Amino acid sequence: MRKKAFIFDLDGVIVDTAKYHFLAWQKIAQELNIEFTLEHNELLKGVSRVRSLDIILELGNIEASQEDKNKWLVQKNEEYLTYLVDMDQSELLPGVLPVLEFLKQNNQPIALGSASKNARPILEKTGILHYFDAVVDGNDVTNAKPDPEVFLIAAQLLQIPAHDAIVFEDSVAGVQAANIAKMTSIGIGDKKTLFEAQHIFTNFSQMETSFIEELIKK
């Protein structure tokens, strides 16, 4: 069987930590008297922590010093981490584990490509770190999606050319990054939002083993 690089985003693909990010950002926004709704939170999908804060400040037309920004970034992360303390395998999204197991059984290289700087602790807490041959997160990249840097590094670590990489993403920016890198983009989530992806599934439970086999054969 041929080898492809299977690269997974984290938030919204493997685990639903987006809800925890939202609560942490909402607390910061409330302190700054900025309205921050679930709709606003969609703007932060696939975006770095620094850019996320800038977006929230723009929503409130607030200009801030770098010192204040740094303080809020630390505060947000500390708030977010409190929600991760009790994470376990039950936090995995539907169908993720069987897909990882199938890929591992078929000796397919697996990587994480995420903007999160807390990726490794989350993979450890959910008991799936051992599935990943490489982990590329927000600590390893300079450019945020839709720049394809995170995926290109992941493919390089797996020693697989970009055109043989398959990316699972839940954000528009992530799908665009995969497409820019000439990788196969698979959207996990809403079809209307992720229409730029080459394939779209609501979640991994909808993904047949035969589909993954075809991806490998191509």
Backbone phi, psi, residue 106, to 5°: -100, 15
Per the annotation, the verdict on 11 as an active-site residue is yes
Helices (H), the chain: 18-31, 38-41, 49-59, 66-84, 96-105, 119-125, 149-158, 172-180, 209-217
Q: Which residue out of 11, 137, 164, 170 is catalytically annotated?
A: 11
| Block mean pLDDT (10 aa), the chain, length 218 | 93 90 95 95 84 96 96 95 91 97 97 92 96 96 93 98 97 96 97 96 96 95
- The answer to whether 179 and 196 have CB atoms below 8 angstroms apart is yes
- The answer to whether 106 and 209 have CB atoms below 8 angstroms apart is no
Q: Which residue out of 9, 137, 164, 170 is catalytically annotated?
A: 9
Please tell me the predicted confidence (pLDDT) of residue 216. Answer: 96
Please tell me the predicted confidence (pLDDT) of residue 57. Answer: 97
Per the annotation, the verdict on 16 as an active-site residue is no
| Cα-based distances in Å from 80 to 20, 54, 141, 182 | 6, 18, 21, 33
Please tell me the predicted confidence (pLDDT) of residue 49. Answer: 87
Please tell me the predicted confidence (pLDDT) of residue 19. Answer: 87
Pairwise CA distance, residues 167 & 92, whole Å: 18
pTM of the model: 0.86
Which of 179-188's residues contact partners 24+ apart within 8 Å by CB, and which partners? 180/146, 180/147, 180/148, 181/148, 181/151, 181/152, 181/155, 183/7, 183/148, 183/151, 183/155, 184/215, 184/218, 188/12, 188/13, 188/93
